[in-house]
Amino acid sequence: MKEPFSTKGEVERAVLVGLAHREQSAEKLEEYLDELEFLATTLGLKTVKKFTQTLDMPNPATFIGSGKLNDVKAYVKENDIDVVVFDDDLTPSQIRNIEKELKIKIYDRSLLILDIFQSRAQTSQSKTQVELARYEYLLPRLTRMWTHLERQRGGTATRGGAGEKEIETDRRMIRNQIAVLKKKLEKIDRQMRTQRGNRGSMVRVALVGYTNVGKSTIMNLISKSDVFAENKLFATLDTTVRKVVIDNLPFLMADTVGFIRKLPHQLVESFKSTLDEVREADILLHVVDISHPQFEDQILTVEKTLAEIDSIDKPTILVFNKVDLYPEPPDEEWKWDGEVKPAIRLGDLEKSWMARQDHQTIFVSAHEKINLDKFKRTLYDKVREIHIQRFPYNSFLYPLPSDQS
């Protein structure tokens, strides 16, 4: 099988390609390409140029127009480019046509994310989930991945012949492998359900959010554990669960895989079992990187994914993280309700529109440990509320309210 990503020691040079169209403005495309560059960097690619084009709709044959494709082709040839990365998913025919023109490796967005997941997977569960998603992605694209088969012939006066038969054999092999992986994943899921069942009735809290917003850093601070955290996308794939005690109140906290715009459908499906920690949680901590220019879009992406896994209506605390990196407004002024305030402070954020959400909100910096005491108290009160309902006579865990004393 032709591997889409080289494991050679040298850094591969890449160009990025994006399309502005009726449903995606040029401004949106620019920020999406910035995220695509971060994805490419996470995989170890070095972005050297970005190509953009505006069309009413993607070209069904080559995604971008023929003239723009020729521009990309010329740049690739002149600058020793190894990989071309497209910000949207490509059809099998588009991949085939583009490869025929450029004669180098082609990534679309899904394949890029799949390769990142593959490089990040550590446990048997996540490795199986990624492998399953990868095979489901490859199945309709065998005509590209197995291009050497197209040149085979079955004998004298035979058109196609053995080449076509071998592609069908490969398809059967892939389908068989998918069936094996699904059975393996079902077994792992049963084991995970048993583990969750053995945890008893403790209140469960799940950290959710866009990728690279600081969930693992918050997990480490609150649980005093050592979950891997890094300034890269999808640093955490495997769900980590820790017992946490705030004051005298114990509960379970789970750190989950980050979400992202246009997460490949195959990954959403295969990782649904991992997201059981979210579905079974009593409370969600939706972590937001307030310093990111598009954090509002990221909130919507997370909420859309939560809706897909039937978890959108759970009690939620919106945790605006990285307040220390929140950009200063122009001229160091902050305006709301007709007033002008000096440079942003924590109190200003707590009076802003961000604090007036459907969910309870808190502003923190996990890295600089800003406002953590208030965050812990907010979380404690939320957990305590559910704990009282679940264990109404377990009063030794916390002081009784004055009306019950």
CATH code of the domain made up of 201-397: 3.40.50.300
For the chain, what are the domain ranges?
Answer: 12-107, 201-397
For residues 47-52, give the mean pLDDT.
95
Q: Tell me, what's the pLDDT at 344?
A: 59
Model confidence band, residue 294 (pLDDT cutoffs 50, 70, 90) = confident
For residues 117-130, give the mean pLDDT.
80
Q: What is d(CA 238, CA 274) in angstroms, rounded to the nearest whole number?
A: 8
Question: Percent of the chain at pLDDT above 70?
Answer: 78
Q: Tell me, what's the pLDDT at 94?
A: 93
Q: Tell me, what's the pLDDT at 153?
A: 40
For residues 16-23, give the mean pLDDT.
91
Q: Tell me, what's the pLDDT at 394?
A: 64
Question: Percent of the chain at pLDDT above 90?
Answer: 33
Helix (H, G, I), strand (E, B) or coil at 128: helix
Q: Tell me, what's the pLDDT at 342?
A: 42
For residues 193-212, give the mean pLDDT.
80
CA nearest to 206, candidates 259, 248, 247? 259
Helix (H, G, I), strand (E, B) or coil at 284: strand
Q: Tell me, what's the pLDDT at 225?
A: 64
Given a contact cutoff of 8 angstroms between Cβ atoms, the answer to whether 117 and 133 are in contact is: yes
**Per residue in 56-108, pLDDT tens?**
999 999 999 999 999 999 999 999 999 999 999 999 899 989 999 999 999 99
Contacts of 149 (CB under 8 A, 6+ apart): 163, 166, 167, 170
More reliable by pLDDT, 220 or 143: 220
Question: Residue 15 forms beta bridges with which residues?
Answer: 49, 84
Average pLDDT of the chain is 80
Confirm whether 12-107 and 201-397 share one CATH topology: yes
Given a contact cutoff of 8 angstroms between Cβ atoms, the answer to whether 118 and 168 are in contact is: no
Q: Tell me, what's the pLDDT at 33?
A: 93
* pTM of structure: 0.74
Q: Tell me, what's the pLDDT at 399?
A: 58
Q: Tell me, what's the pLDDT at 130?
A: 84
Q: What is d(CA 85, CA 49) in angstroms, rounded to the nearest whole number?
A: 11
Q: What is d(CA 308, CA 304) in angstroms, rounded to the nearest whole number?
A: 6
List the 12-20 sheet strands across, edge first.
Answer: 45-54, 12-20, 83-86, 105-107
Residue 148 pLDDT > 90: no
Model confidence band, residue 293 (pLDDT cutoffs 50, 70, 90) = confident
CATH code of the domain made up of 12-107: 3.40.50.11060
Distance set, CA 207 to CA 26, 39, 117, 269 (Å): 33, 22, 19, 20
Distance set, CA 370 to CA 61, 101, 254, 287, 373 (Å): 52, 53, 22, 15, 8
**Per residue in 210-261, pLDDT tens?**
988 999 899 988 887 665 445 555 555 567 788 899 988 889 998 887 888 8
Q: Tell me, what's the pLDDT at 237?
A: 55
For residues 154-177, give the mean pLDDT.
64
Alpha-helical segments (H) within 103-243: 109-120, 124-138, 142-145, 162-197, 215-223
Query: Which of 38-52, 91-105, 135-149, 329-343 comes out lowest in average pLDDT?
Result: 329-343
Q: What is d(CA 242, CA 101) in angstroms, rounded to the nearest whole number?
A: 51
Q: Tell me, what's the pLDDT at 54?
A: 93
